[in-house]
Amino acid sequence: MGAESPKEECGLFGVWAPGEDVARLTYFGLFAQQHRGQESAGIAVSDGRNILVYKDLGLVSQVFNEATLATLRGDLAIGHTRYSTTGSTTWENAQPVFKTDGRRSVALGHNGNLVNVAELASRLGGPSSATTDSDLVTGLIAAELGEAPLDEVALRVLPELRGAFSLVFMDERSLFAARDPNGVRPLSIGRLPTGFVVASETCALDIVGATPIREVEPGELVRIDDRGLSSTRFADATPTPCVFEVVYLSRPDSRLQGRSVHESRREMGRILAREHPVEADLVIGVPTTGHAAAQGYAEVSGIPYGEGLHKNGYVGRTFIQPSQSLRDRGVKLKLNPLPDSIRNKRLVVVDDSIVRGTTTKQIVAALREAGAAEVHIRITCPPVRWPCFYGIDMPTRQELIAADLDVEQIRDYVGADSLGYLSLEGMVEAAGGGTFCRACFDGRYPIPVPAGVGKFVLEQRPGARTG
């Protein structure tokens, strides 16, 4: 997807493994989840007595090097890679968040978005300096810490949180993981020969050689330390995991609810081919999330699958803005057509979603310019009509093209010969069935969202620090 795409919230990693190089394990766990956030990265490590935190703006490979990793020694660690859904992109808002009273300390990483931050901020008493919900949660925990065990404090704080939250947090001796009662954002547990790992995605478990055990259950608090792994439930589970994790956010080599993300996307393509057939010469995917679905579409339709767009894998986040003329052709910074593959061909172009429509419009224009005879767009989810309040940085409803236009009007805007969206039922079936959060498609939010909730709600409060 291009610049218009939803941004991938955050990636979490935690490890308790005495005798291992936990900072290096955390580095590789974050590296595997770089797609989940490119604004900042951080690692907190404890040696049993003190917690040391290192974090900065930038990609994982930019923030850490051999010298910094060598200073992070201990038996347990947590890590975080961030894309902001509340709070600005500043160093202060990078995670893990760290709080200490000089005797006890806590470090915390958060993936998701809380919807009751104003209520929670009032509980701290007086003006709060928190500019992210993650900072707020850490402050609530630290305020009650005293001499109490961290898990006892967490069991008092977690039931007060509303919204989507997967958390990894730690004190000097124990690692904790928790997931909101709806289980909106993923979080999995793996076993190492010398301990345990938790991560947003199972691909991070794979890269550090951990054997996947299970997911953290919705409404569950997990503690890992020298006493082993223990579990406590802080709320009844009402599972509604985010279906967009399957459609776009997660890496294809990860597993969600025991199912391969790659296979789910391939099945989306198969169902798309049955729901929206077309006469064509070649099926191509928009890199990289469209590839699996394009293969599935080709399999059912009998139309050959091939490559038609090359993705520059080194673009990432850039702080050097292109000139206006380059910006007008901005899609080519990331995606460039392969003219010899597509010239004079009728193309089926499979992508994961259309949000604003601008990138799809540029892709269609670029393919026609490269000689495509026809361009038929196929999308592996229904029209995105509603914003997300649970941890995906999706545009406001006014910016969503499908909020106001029907499918034919969108087709006309992007300039395609035809446009077909996967049905809601087809998407859910391909994702493995069951109950999902699909509010961005049908507007039915499983967790009530108060009026006025937005990305910078904490920064808009009087007395709040904006950094």
Between CA 231 and CA 152, with CA 132 as vertex, the angle to 5 degrees is: 25
Cβ 46 vs Cβ 75: under 8 Å: yes
Q: What separation, in Å, do the N-terminal and C-terminal C-alpha atoms of the chain show?
A: 31
Distance separating alpha carbons of residues 83 and 77, to the nearest angstrom: 20
Any idea which residue has 């050689």 for tokens?
A: 209
Q: Extract the tokens encoding 40.
A: 């900042």
Distance separating alpha carbons of residues 173 and 142, to the nearest angstrom: 16
Q: Alpha helix locations (H) across 222-348? A: 244, 261-275, 290-301, 324-328, 331-334, 339-342
Q: In Å, what is the CA distance from 183 to each residue of 7, 151, 178, 180, 435?
A: 19, 19, 10, 5, 11
Q: Does residue 10 have an active-site annotation?
A: yes
Rg from Cα positions in the chain: 22
Cβ 288 vs Cβ 354: under 8 Å: no
Distance separating alpha carbons of residues 210 and 196, to the nearest angstrom: 8
Distance separating alpha carbons of residues 233 and 225, to the nearest angstrom: 18
Query: 139: which residues sit within 8 A by CB, 6+ positions away?
Result: 99, 124, 128, 130
Q: Extract the tokens encoding 451.
A: 């009026």
- Which of 10, 203, 381, 437 does the annotation list as catalytic? 10
DSSP assignment string, 126-160: S-----SHHHHHHHHHHHHHTTS-HHHHHHHHGGG
The answer to whether the Cα torsion of 431, 337, 62, 31 is positive or negative is: positive
Q: Catalytic amino acids? A: 10
